[in-house]
């Protein structure tokens, strides 16, 4: 049976047609009746269908017959966006081959290159596939040349397809059967399986998606988690399917399946852990994959303060489905109790916040995203901070180290000047520049802090959407940075503090308070909004007071009556100002994200 199993992933840049190809393969294998077919079947979340992107890697087991032989195809559809590359690395760790999809009109993009390197690290058989050949502007020969030139893969055996029309898909499935190696494992050895995905089901509890490397997992078997040393009984086993998973009594060597343990809590299942038999355990764990390291941090707070425990429960359940998020409790004078949450990027942050709100019915507010910093203090100790409010006073700081990333940007040569100007504005340093046909491949080191907010949007707008961008962390480097505080009515709003380069502090501060002036509602007294570095105020705006017409009741009479009332009002406003508290509305925090 094992020699007839094929485990493979689909990898590509965003919008090159991974999910559409998955639909065609499912259709070709007859796994779903034509009347039940929908576009992007593997994208099961509402948010994926609305945004038209894949967020979670999804698996499906398909049956295919070639030359009278029955084959089992385990297909994994992966995301394309750089923020979800962790999903790609997990999927590739459990595969034996990968379909590299390249758009016949766009050619090689930044994520194409990044995903190929992950596949090469896992020693996978890579099948180049040129998609969208039905488009008038398709140029498959040029694209295959680009693949050989930029990546160095031999493209003599490649498949030309149109995932939209189904052209060439059957030949591609035959190529998968012929070229992707079957899994290699010992059927008689003790159970050894890798958990490569997990999620929480309200009826079944915590579920684990596993790839069995040795032995088998049987219904009713007592299994052990190698890392946590916990033991559980297997209640049920299923094969993954986009519509309805099918039950089974055993998952054999080389197969992929869902293990149901009936766990009510999410702590026992960890992605990357090895499952083995409790009575006859395997000797060593499977090399899983590097745990994801979040490098964008933001505070997430419930708008209703009594929902703090609900938010904790929601984050625990979501972490089972997306192990790349991390969180710890924190409190803010402005926002109450919440969690400091770590993400892989800005899109990841947006998606997690939206999933928490939709799937767990919460109203949340997120603070300005920041990155992690390392601080060398004057006494020689080193600390790391995720929140700008934790930054020590300047006289205790020797050096601030900020995280850098290696950015790979592919851009048409006509926009090269715009992109280099943008990179220089963002304090980036060039490593190399190569030409691939009419496009330029740029390799730059850039501070993470500079790309976390608006870099991707600016890159797209300066290149009319033609640039593609990928990055990977490369460690910490010293930076000349300062903490910028925002004071409203003389009080620092801790949730609005950010760390900025020294030479940009003035412009950032002015930009910041100008936006806040429009957002903070007028009070019965004047409200000063100030940007400060330490005790020095570097910029100020004033929200004018609203005037109440206290002289409305004076009809005629001596002018001194009106003056007396106005003086009384003036004294009242002064007293109010001394004890006045200003509520900073939610829109103000959202404006921070836009700056």
| Whole-Å CA distances, 336 to 169, 300, 327, 366 | 55, 10, 16, 12
Is 16 labeled as ligand-binding? yes
DSSP secondary structure letters along 426-463: TT-EEEEEEEETTEEEEEEEEEHHHHSSSHHHHHHHHT
DSSP secondary structure letters along 544-583: PPPPP-TTTT--SS-HHHHHHHHHHHHHHHHHHHHH---P
Sequence-ordered list of residues with C-beta below 8 angstroms from that of 502, at least 6 positions apart, any chain:
480, 481, 482
119 vs 96: CA distance, rounded Å = 10
CB 541 within 8 A of CB 515: no
Is 132 labeled as ligand-binding? yes
Is 15 labeled as ligand-binding? yes
Is 244 labeled as ligand-binding? no
Is 17 labeled as ligand-binding? yes
Q: Alpha carbon 12 to chain centroid distance?
A: 17
123 secondary structure, DSSP code: T
Is 156 labeled as ligand-binding? no
Is 36 labeled as ligand-binding? no
10 vs 101: CA distance, rounded Å = 7
Sequence-ordered list of residues with C-beta below 8 angstroms from that of 482, at least 6 positions apart, any chain:
394, 499, 500, 501, 502, 505, 533
Is 547 labeled as ligand-binding? no
Strand partners, 332: 336
Closest by alpha carbon to 75, among 111, 129, 118, 25?
Answer: 25
Is 10 labeled as ligand-binding? no
Is 232 labeled as ligand-binding? no
Sequence-ordered list of residues with C-beta below 8 angstroms from that of 361, at least 6 positions apart, any chain:
none
The helix-helix angle for 169-179 and 18-28 (nearest 10°) equals 90
Helix (H) or strand (E) holding 349: helix 346-359
287 vs 274: CA distance, rounded Å = 9
Binding-site residues for GTP sit at: 15-20, 131-134
């Amino acid at each position: 049976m094992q020699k007839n199993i094929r485990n493979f992933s689909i990898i590509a840049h965003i919008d090159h047609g991974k999910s559409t190809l998955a639909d065609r393969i499912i259709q070709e294998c007859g796994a779903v009746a034509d009347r039940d077919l929908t576009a992007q079947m593997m994208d099961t979340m509402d948010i994926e269908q609305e945004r038209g992107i894949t967020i979670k890697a999804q698996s499906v087991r398909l049956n295919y017959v070639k030359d009278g032989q029955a084959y089992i195809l385990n297909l994994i559809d992966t995301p394309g966006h750089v923020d979800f590359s962790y999903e790609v690395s997990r999927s590739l760790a459990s595969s034996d081959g990968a379909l590299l999809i390249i758009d016949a009109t766009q050619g090689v993009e930044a994520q194409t290159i990044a995903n190929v390197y992950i596949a090469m690290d896992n020693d996978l058989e890579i099948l180049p596939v040129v998609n969208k050949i039905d488009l008038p502007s398709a140029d498959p020969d040029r694209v295959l040349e680009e693949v050989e030139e930029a990546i160095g893969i031999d493209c003599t055996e490649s498949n030309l397809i149109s995932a939209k029309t189904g052209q060439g898909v059957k030949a591609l499935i035959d190529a998968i059967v012929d070229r992707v190696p079957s899994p290699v494992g010992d059927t008689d050895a003790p159970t050894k399986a890798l958990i490569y995905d997990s999620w929480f089901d309200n009826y079944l509890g915590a579920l684990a998606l596993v790839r069995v490397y040795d032995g088998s997992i049987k219904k009713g078997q007592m299994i052990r988690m190698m890392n946590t040393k916990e033991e559980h009984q297997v209640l049920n086993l299923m094969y993954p399917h986009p519509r309805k998973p099918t039950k089974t009594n055993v998952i054999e060597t080389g197969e992929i399946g869902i293990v149901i343990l009936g766990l009510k809590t999410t702590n026992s299942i960890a992605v990357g852990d090895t499952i083995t038999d409790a009575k006859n355990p395997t000797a060593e764990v499977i090399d899983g994959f590097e745990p994801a390291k979040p490098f964008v941090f933001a505070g997430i707070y419930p708008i209703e303060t009594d929902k703090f425990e609900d938010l904790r429960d929601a984050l625990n359940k979501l972490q089972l489905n997306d192990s790349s998020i991390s969180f710890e409790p924190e409190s803010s004078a402005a926002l109450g109790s919440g969690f400091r949450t770590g993400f892989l990027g800005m899109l990841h942050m947006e998606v997690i916040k939206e999933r928490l709100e939709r799937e767990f019915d919460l109203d949340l507010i997120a603070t300005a995203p920041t990155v992690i910093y390392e601080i060398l203090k004057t006494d020689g100790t080193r600390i790391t901070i995720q929140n700008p409010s934790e930054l020590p006073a300047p006289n205790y700081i020797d050096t601030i180290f900020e995280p850098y990333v290696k950015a790979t940007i592919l851009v048409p040569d006509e926009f090269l000047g715009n992109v280099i100007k943008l990179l220089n504005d963002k304090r980036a340093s060039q490593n190399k520049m190569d030409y691939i046909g009419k496009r330029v491949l740029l390799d730059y080191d850039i501070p993470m802090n500079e790309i976390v907010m608006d870099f991707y949007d600016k890159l797209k707008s300066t290149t009319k959407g033609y640039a593609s961008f990928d990055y990977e962390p490369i460690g910490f480097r010293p930076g000349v940075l300062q903490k910028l505080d925002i004071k409203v009515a003389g009080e620092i709003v801790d949730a609005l503090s950010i760390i900025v380069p020294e030479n940009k502090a003035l412009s950032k501060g002015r930009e910041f308070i100008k936006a806040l002036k429009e957002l903070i509602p007028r009070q019965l007294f004047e409200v000063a909004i100030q940007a400060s570095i330490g005790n020095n105020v570097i910029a100020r705006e004033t929200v004018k007071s609203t005037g109440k017409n206290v002289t409305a009741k004076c009809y005629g009479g001596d002018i001194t009556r009106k003056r007396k009332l106005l003086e009384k009002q003036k004294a009242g406003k002064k007293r109010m100002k001394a004890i006045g508290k200003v509520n900073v509305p939610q829109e103000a925090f959202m404006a921070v994200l836009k700056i």
